[in-house]
Each structure stands twice: as structure tokens, then as C-alpha cells.
Amino acid sequence: MSQESIATNEVAVEMTVKKEPRQNAKALVPVQTIIESLKSTADDIGQVSELTSEEKLLVAEFFKSLLKMMQPLASSIPVDISVVQDFGDVTQAHIDPTGHLVLLFDDGHLELKNLEENRNRDLMIAVVEDVLPRFKNLTGAQKRKIENRIKFLTTVTKEMQKISETISALEANP
């Protein structure tokens, strides 16, 4: 009897030993895999940091250029309402030369979004994609406006010169 009880105990021990490694093998991830994942994550974080710094500089330069481009053309440019529909009942939207998006709502209140801020970058891209194609129209309108002034001034100046020459001739021959 004692041999049977020993054999039974050995089998029980063997079963316990065999079951534990199988259960743990499924749950455990090799340490090397975890370390590789952490190293890759650290690399990604470093790249995200570098890209964020580069983006910040580009955004600042973009808005400096936008300011220069817009100042002679317009104090603001309308933004299509569909671009800002996520903000609610917006009735009008405009971007100003400093990179602020002005939103007018149905209830009359205004909101100002600084598109230069990191949290508004996706909105900035959407607004820029909507607004930049309109610069051709703005520059064309500005060009026509100046051409019309020149045409007017040329015509008026020629007539004034004729009158001035007549007066000078009369003064020379009293």
C-alpha cells in the first residue's frame, strides 16, 4: 500500500509541475521582446519630439508669411462653414492675418481659435486647404483695382497736363 500511495503522490506532483509551465508560457512574453518594444517606443518618442519641434517652426513661418500675404489684400478671408461644422451652429467663419479663426454662431456669440496652437493643428490644415486657393482671386482683384486706379489717374493727369500747358502758354503770351 505504501508503494501505491507514493506512486499516486508522484503522479500528482508530476501533473502539477507539468501544468504550471504550460499556463505560464502562454501568459509570459519573453523579456527580450519587451525590451525591444520599449526601445522602439523610445525611438518613436524621440522622433515625435523632433517632428513636433519642426512643425512648430514651420507653423510660425507659415503664419508670418500669411500675415505678409494678407495685409495688402484683405483683413480676413472667409472660411467655408463645412470646414468648421464640428463646432456647432457656425454661421460665419473667417481667418485673419495673424492666424486666428473667428467663428460666429447662430446665437450671436463669437469664438476665436488660435490656429498656431498645437491643439488646433488639424483645424489649421483644414482651414488652410480651404483658404489658400482663394488667394489667386484676391490677388487678381487687387491687381484689377490698381490697374483701374492707374487708368483713371493716367486719363485725369493727361487732361490736367493739357490745361497746365495752356495756362503756361497764356502766361508766356500775355
pLDDT at 170: 87
Q: What is the gyration radius of the CA atoms in the chain, in angstroms?
A: 38
Chain mean pLDDT for the chain: 85
Cα(first)–Cα(last) distance of the chain, in Å? 156
Name the residue among 47, 51, 115 with its Cα closest to residue 77.
Answer: 115
Q: For 24-52, what is each residue's pLDDT tens digit?
A: 556 688 899 999 999 999 999 999 999 99
pLDDT at 145: 93
* Domain extents in the chain: 2-134
Query: What is the grid cell recorded at 88?
Result: 456647432
Q: What are phi and psi of 103, to 5 degrees?
A: -115, 125
Percent of the chain exceeding pLDDT 70 equals 84
Query: How many C-beta atoms surround the C-beta of residue 59 within 10 A?
Result: 18
Q: For 96-136, what is each residue's pLDDT tens digit?
A: 989 999 999 999 999 999 999 999 999 999 999 999 988 88
Q: For 153-172, what is each residue's pLDDT tens digit?
A: 999 999 999 999 999 988 88
